Amino acid sequence: MSLKTRSEIPLEETWNLADIFPSDEEWEKSYLQVEHELDEFHIGAIALDSAKGTLKTLERYDRLMEKYNRTSSYAFYKYSEDGTDPENQTMVGRSQTLGKKSFNLSTNLVNLLLQLPKEVIQSYISEEKDLENYHRFLEKIEEIRDHSLTPEMEDLLASLNHTLNTPNSIYLTVTASDLKFEPVKDKSGNEVPVSLFMYMTQIETSPDTELRRNAYQSLTDGLKKYQHGLAQSLSSEINKNVSIAKLRNYPTTMDYLLQYSTPAANHFYAGDGVSTAFFEDVLDTFQQELSPHMQRYARLRKRQLGLDKLLFSDVKAPLDPEFDPPITYKEAGEIIVEAVGVLGTEYQEQMRKAFTDRWVYRGDNVGRRMIAFGGGVHGVHGYSFYPWGGNLFDMLLLGHELGHALHFTLSSQNKKIINDGASLLFVEAPSTLVEHLIVNYLKGNRDDPRLHRWLNMYSMMSYHHNCVTHILEAELLRRLYKMADKKIPLTTAVISNTKGAILSDFWGDTVELDEGAKLTWMRQPHYYMGLYPFTYSIGTSASTVIANRIKTEGSAVGEQWTNVLKLGGSMSGLDLYKQAGLDMSTMDVIKQAIAHVGRIVDELEESF
């Protein structure tokens, strides 16, 4: 059956973008106004010569960034619904033009603030108490002061932003448009198309061993053809960051990537202030302590599937493929709303609105975005994009994306937009917590051993994704950046053999690794996002411990968590966790989460 067009999607399966703008005509008015204000602000003199002038400048900048956020978000959401619509294409293209102007304005403002001595900014805050409203924005600027360049150099780097992003653009273009894979046969002899998206979202977890292995070989054959070009792209990305780290006088490139990031299109972001030693401790802890549990799970999978060898293409195969009960969107919504009740009435009411007020786009139509997400619009509320398939897996992943949307809603209601850049160390905790709460709710309210076993297997899949896949991505980045700092050329063979060694260290003799496993660095855009992949494991560990505390200590823990979500980006990630009663500066919470994974494996071994 062919997919529907966007116009054929029922209203209830779409999101209500009228909460942002009642019509495209109103969006057009906003676009012209924001464009005019960006030009006017950038060209005019920015008054920072007094406390009052600085306050007025930041207030004006904050208001403008909120208008820009609303305008750009509307265009992005329309494009996400249907990227084949020419009007949506034009709208998002024009929005990107606004993004460049916003980026340039942010760069200019930050450069001017960096020219003011720290003592002057402190005296301004003492004189004008309302400047405290922008404390996190000003703190982030102080965090990068010692590594900032001359205004002329900062402007030059900003003007080269598009060029500096070329390695990532090449990767995305090649994987979206050039990579082609041969279709394969499943166990029934049916022909199945293969793509990166299809493989990672459906085929990799298929119960059909023949399909999985055939598709994996097709994927490997297709990737091989582009391995040298994409290795060059990844090498360029890494060496670019090495050069900028040196330019900014950081001891190593990893120090730079953990501490500094450039002005974004609508906020000024800086790192979370964690050290390279902390980053390396996280990687070492997961690889050393989680590996034995995952190897036990691999051996269980091999036995349960009746395989002579567990190939790399088998590591995500389902253990109970016949158990896949359907669920309606309405039922899923009711379960999710009930499950998050432990986070307090306020959080639960906001989650209920997500379903009653249409915050979710769930239509499956031609031209829709391929990847689910959760976010929101400052001054409006959160939104989630999740094409609904109708099973338990969909309910949990929808819950994840709504966790992002609710986090955004609560933080934007309570914080100014230029203070509200989400901490990358914290951002995956609110989303994964909702997954944990759904699992705990169903276990507590459904007396079905097979369902309980399925929920354990889902949890293992989530930990595999967040704490294995992403940690091993981060491990590859650690090794490659250390090589690049030592001027070791990052050839195709170096990258692939390093990835193979990492996988071998983690899985031991439980999984048969081949050339295709070594090419998994070609599957993900995460390698072009600094050291971001490791943050998933931090958020997942924190949410695991919070979910367990809610279970044993009650809803007071959940309500405390909701209050932390309201803090938005007004603190660093580690400080946000402290407000929730978690000390993430040590490995204790991570080790508690890993022990929890071990208990799940124990239960699964017993259940089979």
Number of H helices, E strands in the chain: 26, 5
Which residue reads 């050069």 in tokens?
243
Specify the residue for token string 């906001």.
Answer: 350
Q: What is the pTM of this model?
A: 0.93
**Options 1.20.140.70, 3.30.450.20, 1.10.287.3510, 3.30.110.40; CATH of 6-148:** 1.20.140.70
pLDDT on residue 374: 95
Report residue 262's pLDDT band, with 50, 70 and 90 as the boundaries. Answer: very low
Q: Max alpha carbon distance in the chain (Å)?
A: 76
| Statement: residue 267 has pLDDT above 50 | no
Res. 139: pLDDT tops 60 = yes
Q: Are 376 and 405 within 8 A, CB to CB? A: yes
**pLDDT-based confidence at residue 196 (cuts at 50, 70, 90):** confident
Beta partners for residue 384, in sequence order: 360, 374
- In 3D space, the residue among 600, 584, 496 whose CA is nearest the CA of residue 228 turns out to be 496
Average pLDDT over residues 453-463: 96
Q: What amino acid occupies position 285?
A: T
Count Cβ atoms below 10 Å from residue 15 Cβ, excluding itself. 21
- Checking DSSP bridges between strand 382-385 and strand 360-361, what pairing results, if any? parallel
pLDDT reported for residue 264: 40
Count CB-CB contacts under 10 A for residue 115: 12
Contacts of residues 468-472 at CB distance under 8 Å and 24 or more positions apart, as own/partner, are 468/286, 468/290, 468/294, 468/506, 470/526, 470/533, 470/534, 470/536, 470/537, 471/282, 471/283, 471/286, 471/287, 471/290, 471/533, 471/534, 471/537, 472/287, 472/502, 472/503, 472/506
Residues 315-348, buried b or exposed e (16+ Cβ, 10 A)?
bbbbbeeeeeeebebeebbebbbbbbebbbeebb
Q: What is the mean pLDDT of residues 543-569?
A: 97
Residue 1 has pLDDT above 80, yes or no: no
* Nearest residue to 402 (alpha-carbon basis) of 381, 428, 383, 424: 383
Domains of the chain by residue range: 6-148
Reading the block at residue 164, the tokens are 């500096």
- Tell me which residue has tokens 């690889």: 287
Q: Which of 444, 454, 438 is nearest to 547 (CA)?
A: 438
pLDDT of residue 49: 93
